[in-house]
Structure 1
């Protein structure tokens, strides 16, 4: 087998392994995620129960990183203490190692049965729990198939003339071996996948046991780095748990690497067979860190919390410094000054446009960096609003005509509406997206389509309203108000459709009901604020009625 063919087969096997692991985790989260989170919050009173709950969650989710991120979010919300969070993560790491052991058994004959049963449940069942169980069974079957693919791809390497040279180098340079495994695990974002890959290669005689043991230590270092990187933009309380895990697990791997170099233990002590030795080394390491780390959890929390507080928050948004259009030298010329304020208001519109378009992306795939970016954009809107307000106040000190005074007041109202729209995005919509992320819930396909369509309508009307700052077109202003009325009817229809899904007892609709309804309400409020930009144009043309109330008969 040529090198290109080998890498192609190995890449395909690893990709299937990662995708299958993700399938199992997704199925468990959607079917039982809420129950797991409830049990997690309820069973943290005693260190042993907290550790066991972390172990169970890692087995269910097929990922210790997922447990770490979930626990860190609970700690950030104050639902779990920092020390309890560290204990839960310790149990999660051990649970992840035990999953690797289970998957290392020869379960080849089980794969066809799991594929058949999983496909039937996934494709035929209308009930969500059974549908997601089918997804999990398919994922487990694909994991087993991917491991067989790894073994098959690695088989020809035993006769390779190049491999002994590489192995000889790695055996003589344990630091390179250790760092290589850490980098591989970080790239895979899965310690289970990395350990199973090492075990499969060791089983085929490609990886000597001594090298394999060193790489297991590197796997644990790389795995402990994933969560701190993913939470780097989060609050200090939320970052502290991943940092504590990195401190305990990363430092432990470095210390044991030094001991390995001194003692040179016999891999046979960990069992018979190269694959078993690697799996058992992984379990033994995490059991060791658990036993040593339990009494040191308080110290680890204090250190990690101190480190998290020291870290300067990441600056978000564009790095370049923008030049304000509010030129003080133009204050003596009201027309020029009002034009400058209009240019700055248009910049506010651009920022609101960006925030409004990005918020739906945060709903679809929330992450700490996107959340931080939106908050940074809102700060920019607030700063620009304050600057324009003060600038307009200085213009009024000069002698202005009635038309100029009216334009000044209109611009002030525009800036107030834009600032309020930004507040709704950050203080309301962003909180809904964070709530969705923390609860790990998903909208129904119908509900998500309704939200996306409603958001798209608000975006279209917002851009029409923004155009009115450049061109006071009465037809455009009328279209904005017509669209506002249409969206009011659309909101009512969306709410009715959502209640119909609740009556059908759709579980996803029940889980996301408040988020769905609050999102539609807030999008409607944003549309109302931005549609107000059309009123000065319509009023000037005499196209605005004084009241929508009918005259009494």
Structure 2
């Protein structure tokens, strides 16, 4: 087998590993994202629990970067302190390293089992939760399979005359090897994938354990760079946690590299095989960073704040920042296709604003103040202004001769705008009132009640995104899925209400105190979902798939 063919096979195996990692991460986020976020918020106040929560979440998401971004967003919103966020990220790095360790065991039997069960779950049901479970299992199966493929693809390299020369060069130049590993990790966007690749190659005798330790340190540098790069245009508060992780983990890897180069320690104690030694070195490094990070957390946080302040964004109140451009060009009214495209662009902007409102309102239920409440109310004013502008624009367009399809599209956009404005009104006039009441009376939901509300909210938010997509794509399958989800949410709301009444019957104090807020919130979210679902009705009616308010049988 030629060298180019070997590299193609190896590249394909690595690509499958990256895809499988992403598949598992996406499935977990969609199936359990809201529950995990709620658990994380609730436990980050305690330093030890923050570390454990970060560890658990990284294992679930198979990505320490995802946890860093999530915790950074919480810190930016004021939900958790930046100090607690730093500790959660320390735990996330250990969780990520433990995932790499688990995947080095012989799990070949799980490949067919995960693929069979996962594919069955994904294809045999329309339930979103079960389909995501199937996605997770398929991703795990493909991930294990990719590791086998990497091993087989790299086998011919053991006979290569060039390979020992390359290994000897990097062994004699650890700084270059360290930087190369950091670059590979940044390109992979995953420390787990990078460590597994190196462990697999070490297991085949292609990398010495000593070189593997240097590469692992480079992996940790590259991994710590990913989150700061992804958040470089975010608000300052969001960037503090990723920058702090870069300071602690990135600088820690540099210090450790210097110590390894100076003392050249024996690493036999890390494991019996080269593969074990590399993965265990990765775990040990992150444990050391955690232990060192506990007393240094305050110092790192203050340093992160200063670094973020030095590279801060311009004042968001400057004219350049608040200036908004409108897609509603008057000159395009003489061309109905162009005018409808402009109106669609503007409606999409309204969709984006409504999505932001829908995401923020649930955060206010947990942590609210007057500034955040006023900011959300201001978004509703923006929705009202854009809604009025779109109606006037389309009213002018109707004066021109339009085809039947153009006239129907015009009415569809107007209808969508009306419903989006109504959603904004429900959020501000109803749900914000609940927030104020909860804040004024210092009320707390029961853990079970809060889980029901966040799960229901998560489903409505997911449906909102589907509705916004259909508004642009006019995809029939997605529209059908959304209408079917409406029935599922009706059952979900009934079950949540019944559970709440059972807690009332048992005399649970928190349920009694928050009863009206709990039930009214579920009702408001159900009404929002109905409005958003009705946005896609014109697509189904156009294709004869809707009879009254029910789907026709396919």
TM-score (norm 1): 0.65
Please say if 1:286 is aligned against 2:274: no
Distance 1:130 1:484, change over 3 A: closer
SS in 2 for 1:475: coil
Please say if 1:120 is aligned against 2:120: yes
Please say if 1:223 is aligned against 2:207: no
Distance 1:239 1:61, change over 3 A: same
**Contact 1:185 1:223 (8 Å CA) reproduced:** yes
- Residue in 2 aligned with 1:254? 254
Within 5 Å, give how 1:225-240 maps onto structure 2: 225-240=225-240
Q: 1:342 deviation in Å?
A: 8.7
Q: 1:125 deviation in Å?
A: 3.2
- Residue in 1 aligned with 2:20? 20
- Residue in 2 aligned with 1:183? 183
| Distance in structure 1 (CA, Å) of the matches to 2:90 and 2:530 | 38
Aligned length: 412
Please say if 1:136 is aligned against 2:136: yes
Please say if 1:357 is aligned against 2:282: no
| Distance in structure 2 (CA, Å) of the matches to 1:436 and 1:197 | 42
| Distance in structure 2 (CA, Å) of the matches to 1:290 and 1:359 | 47
- Residue in 2 aligned with 1:72? 72
| Distance in structure 1 (CA, Å) of the matches to 2:535 and 2:120 | 41
**Contact 1:119 1:134 (8 Å CA) reproduced:** yes
Within 5 Å, give how 1:35-184 maps onto structure 2: 35-184=35-184
| Distance in structure 2 (CA, Å) of the matches to 1:225 and 1:355 | 40
Distance 1:358 1:64, change over 3 A: farther
TM-score (norm 2): 0.65
| Distance in structure 1 (CA, Å) of the matches to 2:272 and 2:77 | 46
**Contact 1:353 1:463 (8 Å CA) reproduced:** no
SS in 1 for 2:216: helix
Distance 1:289 1:342, change over 3 A: same
- Residue in 1 aligned with 2:3? 3
**Contact 1:171 1:211 (8 Å CA) reproduced:** yes
| Distance in structure 1 (CA, Å) of the matches to 2:344 and 2:419 | 22
Greater shift, 299-308 or 236-245, is seen at 299-308
Distance 1:60 1:205, change over 3 A: same
Please say if 1:475 is aligned against 2:411: no
Distance 1:210 1:432, change over 3 A: same
| Distance in structure 2 (CA, Å) of the matches to 1:296 and 1:43 | 21
Q: 1:41 deviation in Å?
A: 0.9
- Residues 105-158 of structure 1 deviation map (CA, whole Å, 9 limit, x = unaligned): 011122112222222222213433332222111111111100000001111111
Structure 2 residues without counterparts, runs of 5 or longer = 317-328, 365-385, 424-466, 468-478, 494-521, 537-554
**Contact 2:340 2:410 (8 Å CA) reproduced:** no
| Distance in structure 2 (CA, Å) of the matches to 1:15 and 1:358 | 38
1:502 equivalent among 486, 500, 510: 486
- Residue in 1 aligned with 2:268? 268
- Residue in 2 aligned with 1:431? 356
| Distance in structure 2 (CA, Å) of the matches to 1:437 and 1:190 | 30
Q: 1:294 deviation in Å?
A: 1.4
| Distance in structure 2 (CA, Å) of the matches to 1:73 and 1:26 | 18
**Contact 2:103 2:144 (8 Å CA) reproduced:** yes
- Residues 45-91 of structure 1 deviation map (CA, whole Å, 9 limit, x = unaligned): 21111111111100000000010111111111111110111111111
| Distance in structure 1 (CA, Å) of the matches to 2:527 and 2:241 | 30
Please say if 1:311 is aligned against 2:311: yes
Distance 1:53 1:270, change over 3 A: same
Within 5 Å, give how 1:329-340 maps onto structure 2: none
| Distance in structure 1 (CA, Å) of the matches to 2:62 and 2:197 | 15
Q: 1:352 deviation in Å?
A: 13
Distance 1:351 1:75, change over 3 A: farther
Rg bigger for which structure? 1
| Distance in structure 1 (CA, Å) of the matches to 2:232 and 2:37 | 23
**Contact 1:24 1:139 (8 Å CA) reproduced:** yes
Distance 1:158 1:357, change over 3 A: same
Q: 1:273 deviation in Å?
A: 0.5
Distance 1:513 1:314, change over 3 A: farther
Distance 1:2 1:57, change over 3 A: same
**Contact 1:23 1:136 (8 Å CA) reproduced:** yes
SS in 2 for 1:305: helix
| Distance in structure 2 (CA, Å) of the matches to 1:116 and 1:425 | 39
- Residue in 2 aligned with 1:201? 201
- Residues 143-180 of structure 1 deviation map (CA, whole Å, 9 limit, x = unaligned): 11000000011111111101111111101111000000
| Distance in structure 2 (CA, Å) of the matches to 1:516 and 1:505 | 8
Distance 1:517 1:81, change over 3 A: farther
| Distance in structure 2 (CA, Å) of the matches to 1:125 and 1:140 | 20
| Distance in structure 2 (CA, Å) of the matches to 1:177 and 1:473 | 66
| Distance in structure 1 (CA, Å) of the matches to 2:203 and 2:362 | 40
